[in-house]
Copies of this chain bind each other. A is one copy, B any other.
């Protein structure tokens, strides 16, 4: 028999379909008596409104589409938390999609998100092409998190990766380190910014930058350290600024493998403050991004645009903060 529809409820309650619609939407222009009758009928039939039909008829959507580049990275989970909080608060539902870090596949995933005609779209650390983003932004508000853009039609929420790296360097310098290397994040999102921050801080302190090509994974971090060790045995860095936490964990392993103790022989700083870094066994000094806040801001940016309260793009640049744990020590 399928699920009951509004029509069924109306018949059961002896009223019109329109009246049921009003009750379901909590309209004040319904008499108490009828309202109760309708609610009882709905209850008895086990009725609940059909979100798609509603959205089709009202030409509005209560859905925010979220595309996450990589569900495996707990970094995004907290951003989603923040998004979720605001969305729920403002009466929106989240539908999440995953992109798998390939532009082609993310393009498809974005298409399927858009086919639901969401009220707004949040892209978390995705790698879809700028053109695809621009096209999407013509249909509904789009906010980019952990990714920057030149597009003037989309909002962005990022942490100040440059400042974050600078903080890491400043911390190490204040501990007396002079030879500080950076394991960079290659082509990963925000990697260039972090590298630039590192560079700038080093020069500011009158120190020579040393960037080792790496990536956002632990294996890459380990490899980078081994390269470093193989290259210049004589004059090794006494401190490392890693691309992110995963990278730092790999570096840590490779250092210990080589008989170097952290932080006694080498100090190490990560980036992101993922749950990983907080594990007591690792206790990684790292740079924290206010992820929850970033999620909140992203949702708010969307809601503002959806409500038509703003048309100018907004560029949130959040302040990272240093979390000092056990992998850094005085020279």
Contacts and interface: CB of A to CB of B under 8 A. Distances in A.
Interface of A: 3, 46, 48-53, 55-56, 71-72, 74, 76-78, 80-81, 84, 93-98, 111-112, 114-117, 135, 139, 218, 222, 249-250, 252-254, 256-257, 275-276, 279-282
A84 B112 contact: no
A182 to B, nearest CB: 20
25 contacts: A3-B139, A48-B111, A48-B114, A49-B115, A50-B56, A50-B117, A51-B112, A51-B115, A52-B55, A53-B56, A56-B56, A71-B76, A72-B78, A74-B74, A84-B98, A94-B97, A95-B95, A95-B97, A95-B116, A218-B279, A249-B281, A250-B280, A252-B281, A253-B280, A253-B281
Contacts of A114: 48
Number of copies of this chain in the oligomer? 2
Contact of A71 (B3, B46, B52, B77): B77
Contacts of A93: 97, 112
Contacts of A74: 71-72, 74
A276 to B, nearest CB: 7
Contacts of A252: 281
Contacts of A55: 52
Given A56-B56, A77-B71, A95-B95, A115 B50 contact: yes
Nearest to A275: B72
B80 A98 contact: yes
Contacts of A116: 51-52, 95
Contacts of A280: 218, 222, 249-250, 253-254, 257
A52 B48 contact: no
Nearest to A55: B52
Which of A46, A76, A96, A281 has most chain B Cβ within 10 Å?
Answer: A281
Contacts of A256: 281
Nearest to A52: B52
A253 B279 contact: yes
Contacts of A49: 115
Nearest to A105: B88
A111 B275 CA distance: 30
A293 B228 CA distance: 39
